[in-house]
Amino acid sequence: MGSSNVAMLSLLLVLYMVFVPSLATVYTVGDTSGWTTGVDYGAWTKDKTFKVGDSLVFNYPTSHTVDEVSSSDYSTCTVGNSITTDNTGATTVSLKTAGTHYFICGVLGHCGNGMKLAVKVESGSPSSSTDKPSTTTPSTTTTSTTKAPVDSSSSWSVSPFMAAVLTWVALSVMVIS
Ligand SMILES: [Cu+2]
């Protein structure tokens, strides 16, 4: 392997290391406002594109909760049927599957006062971007305190894998030449 090839390989490795972490984005819900009443979360999500592998961080006083709920419970602000719930004050939710995920505060009246968040999650791979309604797959996310087993097959987006494949292809070409 010539020195130019070594340099090229190094460049590829650097690009790979820079590129891969940027694929998973951590979003702080409501930014500096956090998770509270009186915030328009529809406006907060409007300019954002959520992908499988991204995370939501909810920051709030423990007088609130973060509940993942069904589409219908989201629409009607129905509390008590939550899929997952957390009230630690700092809840990280991994978006593991494509589709729309719905979150409300479980404290009576707070959802009606704006504490409702719908996040449309796109598949990490353009070739399999078949978004399904989350109503057919309720247990699609886990909170930081949920003990449900992690679905490893869907928690890892395809793009880092593709980046690794491309790196190896490039490496193979250099070795052959
Ligand atoms: Cu609340």
What string of pLDDT tens digits covers the 177 residues of the chain? Answer: 466 666 666 666 555 555 555 579 999 999 999 999 999 999 999 999 999 999 999 999 999 999 999 999 999 999 999 999 999 999 999 999 999 999 999 999 999 999 999 999 999 765 443 444 444 444 445 444 444 444 434 444 445 656 666 567 666 767 766
Q: Report the separation in Å between the CA atom of 154 and the middle of ligand 1, taken as the mean of its atom positions.
A: 30
Host domain of residue 13: 1-24+157-177
How many structural domains comprise the chain?
Answer: 2
User: Given this model, what pLDDT does residue 29 score?
Assistant: 98
d(CA 156, CA 151) in angstroms, rounded, equals 9
Q: Report the separation in Å between the CA atom of 63 and the middle of ligand 1, taken as the mean of its atom positions.
A: 6
User: Given this model, what pLDDT does residue 36 score?
Assistant: 98
User: Given this model, what pLDDT does residue 130 score?
Assistant: 44
141: CATH: 2.60.40.420
Q: Report the separation in Å between the CA atom of 19 and the middle of ligand 1, taken as the mean of its atom positions.
A: 37
User: Given this model, what pLDDT does residue 106 score?
Assistant: 98
Strand, coil or helix: 132: coil
Q: Report the separation in Å between the CA atom of 36 and the middle of ligand 1, taken as the mean of its atom positions.
A: 6
Q: Report the separation in Å between the CA atom of 54 and the middle of ligand 1, taken as the mean of its atom positions.
A: 24
User: Given this model, what pLDDT does residue 14 score?
Assistant: 57
Q: Report the separation in Å between the CA atom of 65 and the middle of ligand 1, taken as the mean of its atom positions.
A: 6
Query: Same domain, yes or no, for 59 and 120?
Result: yes
Query: Same domain, yes or no, for 33 and 63?
Result: yes
User: Given this model, what pLDDT does residue 137 score?
Assistant: 41
Query: Same domain, yes or no, for 175 and 139?
Result: no
Q: Report the separation in Å between the CA atom of 98 and the middle of ligand 1, taken as the mean of its atom positions.
A: 26
d(CA 25, CA 27) in angstroms, rounded, equals 6
Residue 102 to residues 78, 132, 166, 174, 175, Cα–Cα distance (Å): 12, 14, 36, 48, 49
E-strand stretches of 9-147: 26-28, 50-51, 55-59, 66-69, 84-86, 90-95, 99-104, 116-122, 141-143
User: Given this model, what pLDDT does residue 23 score?
Assistant: 72
Query: Same domain, yes or no, for 83 and 124?
Result: yes
Task: Quickly tell me which residue has 């991204």 as its tokens.
Answer: 54
Q: Report the separation in Å between the CA atom of 158 and the middle of ligand 1, taken as the mean of its atom positions.
A: 36
Query: Same domain, yes or no, for 138 and 161?
Result: no
